[in-house]
Amino acid sequence: MLASSEPIVEVRDLTRSFSARKGFLFQEKVETQALQGVDLSVRTGELFGLLGPNGAGKTTLTKILSTLLLPTSGTARVLGYDIHDDVHAIRAHIGLVLGGERGLYNRVSGRENLRYFADLFGLPTGEVSRRIQEVLDLVDLTEAADRRVEEYSRGMKQKLHLARGLLHRPQLLFLDEPTIGLDPRSARDLRKLVRSLSSEGVTIFLTTHYMFEAEELCQRIGILAKGRMIACDTPQGLQRLVGGESTVELESHQFDDSELQRLRNLPGVSRLLQESLGSRLRITLRVRPKEWSSSNLAGGLEAHPDLLVRERRTTLEDAYLDLVEEEVVA
């Protein structure tokens, strides 16, 4: 059993490549690098989030850590067990919830689905009925438990996926985009349940495309881009990494080079970004609050009587986009 002071997930220099054939008669072999030297450590009891663009390698990494896929090279340990040598030991202590419709039996009830999976997990016979009722209550499916799954909404099916993943009381729960496609109420209910599980000591590894979801739930966040882990920190740490917890936006018609240079050199400015908005231009400044003052903008912009200025908190989405853009350009 893993000691509580040890990482529950430990990844070192992990790679995964996929081969495919294309061209005339599929004679050309193409290698795709899904993961390239990923390092990662997840703490016991942590609610850890993984973000990244489509194709960044999020699902590949999740499948490797949940023993559905082997890496090409590198090492990974989950709950102290090696993913190559201790697959059955890992599976006994993890839960996996994948988004989507697959993985359930639609022509039988939710309760019968859970009974089947309880048998697969090897739950003691005398405990099965009680445990099924516990997870049904937990995900608020008791009233629908004896209806056929084909009658369930997408949100109800996702709750049943989660109930299945919790049946055997996993120490580590993998959630791969659990709220994708859900209506706002169902998504909110699922996030509330995730927070509750985390507060009870379940370690959660969450992949999502929703920045607000990651910022609301996760204690630390890793960002994957092009198969590389480009950053890993708290949401606040990621904001500092891109230059500050505050953002100033300026909008007007074209700014000249001297104006842009002056803005770059203002005290507290760590990053300047430009974005075209049709006939107008938006200048975004990432600033360090302790060094920045809005009075810094006075003077030097008199040629812009239509200037709009907004100051706001730097969001996780800002940090994510800055970091991913840096990786794409590099």
Instruction: List the domains of the chain with CATH numbers.
Output: 7-239 (3.40.50.300), 243-313 (3.30.70.260)
Query: What is the average per-residue pLDDT within 301-307?
Result: 86
Q: pLDDT digits over 239-296, tens only? A: 889 888 899 999 998 889 999 999 999 999 999 999 999 889 999 999 998 999 888 8
pLDDT at 48: 97
Radius of gyration of the chain (CA): 24
Kindly indicate the confidence band of residue 147, based on its pLDDT and cuts at 50, 70 and 90: very high
| Distance in angstroms (rounded) separating the CA atoms of residues 50 and 209 | 9
% the chain with pLDDT above 90: 73
Kindly indicate the confidence band of residue 3, based on its pLDDT and cuts at 50, 70 and 90: very low
Mean pLDDT over all residues of the chain?
91
| Distance in angstroms (rounded) separating the CA atoms of residues 152 and 160 | 10
Is the pLDDT at 22 greater than 80, yes or no? no
Q: CA dihedral defined by 230, 234, 235, 240, rounded to 10 degrees?
A: -70
Q: Which of 164-168, 225-229, 305-309 has the lowest mean pLDDT?
A: 305-309
Query: What is the average per-residue pLDDT within 122-145?
Result: 95
pLDDT at 154: 87
Residue 126's φ and ψ, nearest 5 degrees, are -70, -10
Q: pLDDT digits over 29-67, tens only? A: 778 899 999 999 999 999 999 999 988 999 999 999 999
| Distance in angstroms (rounded) separating the CA atoms of residues 244 and 228 | 24
- Of 232, 238, 316, 223, which Cα lies nearest the Cα of 41? 232
Task: Mention every residue, 6+ apart, whose C-beta is less than 8 A from residue 53.
Answer: 225, 324
Q: pLDDT digits over 178-201, tens only? A: 888 788 888 898 899 999 999 999
pLDDT at 180: 83
Q: Where are the alpha helices (DSSP H) in 96-210?
A: 110-121, 125-138, 154-166, 184-199
pLDDT at 2: 54
Is the pLDDT at 328 greater than 70, yes or no? no
- Of 79, 76, 3, 58, which Cα lies nearest the Cα of 230? 58
